Amino acid sequence: MIKYIKIFSLVLGILFLNACKLDLLDNPNAVTLNSASPTFILNRIQLDFATFFNQASDPGMRLTRMINQGSAIYINAYSPQTLDGMWTNGYANILTDVKTLIPLAERSNLFVHAGIARVIRAYVIATMTDFFGSVPLTEALDGTNFNPKADEGATIYQAAIADLDKAIENFNANSSAIPSDYFYAGNRENWIRAANSLKLKLVLTRRLVDNGAAATINSLIATNRLISTGAQNFRFRFSANLANPDSRHPRYAGQYSPTGGGDYQANFYMWTMNDSKGFQDPRTRYYFYRQRLRNTTDVNELRCITNQPPAHYPQGMPFCFGSTASLGYWGRDHLSNEGIPPDGLARTAWGLYPAGGRFDDDRGQPVTLVTGAQGAGIHPIMMSSFVDFMLAESALVLKTTGNPRALLESAVRKSMADVRSFALSTIEASFVTNFEAARGINWDNEVNRYVNRVLELYDAATTDDARLDVIAREYWLALYGNGIEAYNLYRRTGKPAGMQPALEANPGGFIRSFFYPAVFANRNANAKQKDNVTTPVFWDTNPPGLTR
């Protein structure tokens, strides 16, 4: 009997020991798939998406003359290392987290979580295609495959559209909880409108290679569920928090400091808003903040003031300043690679919209910390005005439902309203209203004058190509802060026509797609780096030289 008790005790001991060993293999502090919070993962996805938008928007704004593009020639403007951060954020952060989140969310009936994740994934993979061309998708995010092959761009666009359709299914399903939604506060109808509007964007972007684009767009119009009001705008909001964490708009954070600096605005963009129509665009004082109210006469501050415009510049092309009058619009010309003089507290800064800076009420004071709206700006990802501009282009070119002239007018008015309503919602509102009262400015009258001039230009156009230039130019002016749509618009249409040339007479071909990031090209055995940056993406079938 004693023998059996000993054997039984030994077996129990072994089992207990093994159980202890198994417990040691499970780290109670580690996050596993079973313990991961779908809400926390989605929070991270949304924040990383805001960063991704800024990373992609930056080169798009520079190439389309919204802010200065440094480097004298195009091929040197962006090395393979330049966009490593965007690529890593897109794949290692956002797409990996989305892949993790969706099955967790759907198992728990958290369909709004899954829908938001799918919308963001669709945007990210489409943008990767827009910037680089063929990129990994079907073999991506496989922990056993370190050399995923790239998928064709057309395939990725189809996957993005499928994601948007599935997201709409998610939003229509009964969900057990609403997430911490940084965009729409859980409003599923607005998410459906955003998904449809992004689908419109993708179909219009590929219209040169899609014979069914008109039918698809008409179907989207018929749903009557596109972004159509300011309350439905797809935008990311920043706060004025300075530290722990710094949640200010990145453009504000990079410029509103004791030393200033930050981005140079593009002279051509400022000139277009100040001078091209014979009077100032009503949005100008919201977009730009002048630290000086008069142009400098000191060559040590701005070398170009003693130079003549390049011989290849067309007559009337702005040079050196953002206005032909001495108004202090201090930026840089396209592809200017000059050094940086001590002008950090002199150059024109980002204004109130969309960066959350200062409204320009002729203060002429240097930027500094905790001024203006203190960085409580927005990323304008897909606004109601953008949708109407796209519908105007589609109606004109593809003959889809709608009157292009009426849609153009609606788009311009919505852009004005978005800028105005945002400004009046900030702590800068009193500076806006006090300035207007002191100057006798009536906002509605200013908007009407501007809209009437745009419609005059549209009516004077004698060809659809000329009419498209009017639509695209106004879209470009409404896109301030969104370089992704501006970059796609310019490559898709070649508009606005007559962009400011490079300072060099021969800057090389325009960047129709970027070099693959080094983190992909150098580490993936199946990756082949491009020979140049003039290789178009799948939807860009335009002739060489259309974009400059």
- Whether 323 is in a domain gets the answer yes
Q: Is residue 536 part of a domain?
A: no
* Residue written as token pair 């797409």: 95
* Domain co-membership, 294 together with 189: no
Which residues lie closer than 8 Å to 109 by C-beta, 6 or more apart?
A: 173, 174, 175, 176
190 and 281 part of one domain: no
CA dist list (Å): 508 to 63, 261, 304, 487, 496: 13, 29, 23, 18, 20
* 414 belongs to a structural domain: yes
Q: Pairing state of beta strands 288-289 and 349-350?
A: antiparallel
Instruction: In whole angstroms, give the CA distance from residue 457 to residue 441.
Output: 24
Strand segments (E) across 478-534: none
Q: Please report where in the chains the tokens 């229509």 appear, as a residue.
A: 172
Amino acid found at 259: T
Residue 12 has a pLDDT of 41
Specify the 3-state DSSP secondary structure of 151: strand
Written as six digits, the tokens of 342 are: 């001590």
CA distances from 16 to 5, 9, 11, 23 (A): 16, 10, 9, 11
Place of tokens 């009046």: 424
CB 94 within 8 A of CB 48: yes
The CATH number of whichever domain residue 116 belongs to comes to 1.25.40.390
- What pLDDT, in 10s, does the model give residues 294-348? 999 999 999 999 999 999 999 999 999 999 899 999 999 999 999 999 999 999 9
Are 439 and 263 contacting, i.e. CB atoms less than 8 angstroms apart? no
Tokens of 542: 């335009």
DSSP designation for 399? -
In this structure, the answer to whether residues 197 and 269 fall within a common structural domain is no
Is 448 in contact with 384 (CB distance < 8 Å)?
A: no
At residue 36, the pLDDT reads 84
Amino acid at 320: C
Distance CA 43, CA 53 (A): 16
Mean pLDDT of 212-233: 98
Strands 349-350 and 234-237: unpaired
Distance CA(524)–CA(521), nearest Å, equals 6
Indicate the pLDDT class of residue 28, thresholds 50, 70 and 90.
Answer: low
Give the helix ranges, DSSP H, for 262-403.
267-274, 284-287, 384-397
- What is the amino acid identity at position 532? N
Q: Which residues contact 524 (CB under 8 A, 6 or more apart)?
A: 136, 146, 147, 148
Q: Are residues 222 and 266 in the same domain?
A: no
Q: How high is the pLDDT of residue 198?
A: 98
Instruction: Please classify residue 37 by burial: count the beta carbons closer than 10 Å to its beta carbon, then call 0-12 exposed, 13-18 middle and 19+ buried.
Output: exposed
Residue 285 lies in a domain: yes
The secondary structure of 444-471 as a DSSP string is HHHHHHHHHHHHHHHHH--SHHHHHHHH
The rounded mean pLDDT for the chain is: 94
Asked whether the CA dihedral 325, 327, 333, 339 is positive or negative, the reply is positive
Which residue, 203, 179, 202, 207, is CA-closest to 191? 179
Residues 220 and 266 reside in one and the same domain:
no
56 domain-assigned:
yes
pLDDT digits (tens, 9 = 90+) for 351-370: 999 999 999 999 999 999 99
351 and 263, same domain (yes or no)? yes
* pLDDT for the residue numbered 26: 52
Mean predicted confidence (pLDDT) in 139-163 = 97
Nearest to 131 by CA among 543, 530, 500: 530
- Domain assignment present for residue 410? The answer is yes
Number of domains in the chain: 2
Looking at the fold, whether 141 and 258 belong to one and the same domain comes out as: no
38 pLDDT more than 80: yes
Q: Are residues 190 and 47 in the same domain?
A: yes
What is the pTM for the complete model shown? 0.94
Asked whether residue 354 falls in the same domain as residue 220, the answer is no
Query: Which SS3 state, helix, strand or coil, does residue 544 take?
Result: coil
42-70 burial code (b ≥16 CB/10 A, e <16): bbebbbbbbbbbbbbbbbbbbbbbbbbbe
199 shares its domain with 296: no
> What letter does residue 110 receive in the DSSP assignment?
-
Quickly state the pLDDT bin for 32 (edges 50, 70, 90).
low
Residue 544 resides in a domain: no
* DSSP labels, 248-301: S-HHHHTTSSTT---PPBBHHHHHHHHTTTSS--TTHHHHEE-S-SS----TTT
Q: Which two tokens stand for residue 469?
A: 């230039």
Half-sphere exposure of 428 (CA within 13 A, CB side): 32
The verdict on 193 and 266 lying in the same domain is: no
CATH number at residue 444: 1.20.120.840
Which tens digits make up the pLDDT trace of 68-92?
Answer: 999 999 999 999 999 999 999 999 9
Lowest pLDDT segment from 31-40, 277-286, 395-404: 31-40
User: Which tens digit of pLDDT belongs to each residue from 259-272?
Assistant: 999 999 999 999 99
| Furthest CA-CA distance within the chain | 111
The whole-angstrom separation of Cα 319 and Cα 304 is 8
| 213 inside domain | yes
Q: Does pLDDT of 22 surpass 50?
A: no
Q: What is the end-to-end Cα distance of the chain in Å, rounded?
A: 95
Residue 186 structural domain: 38-226+517-521
Shared domain check, 277 and 174: no
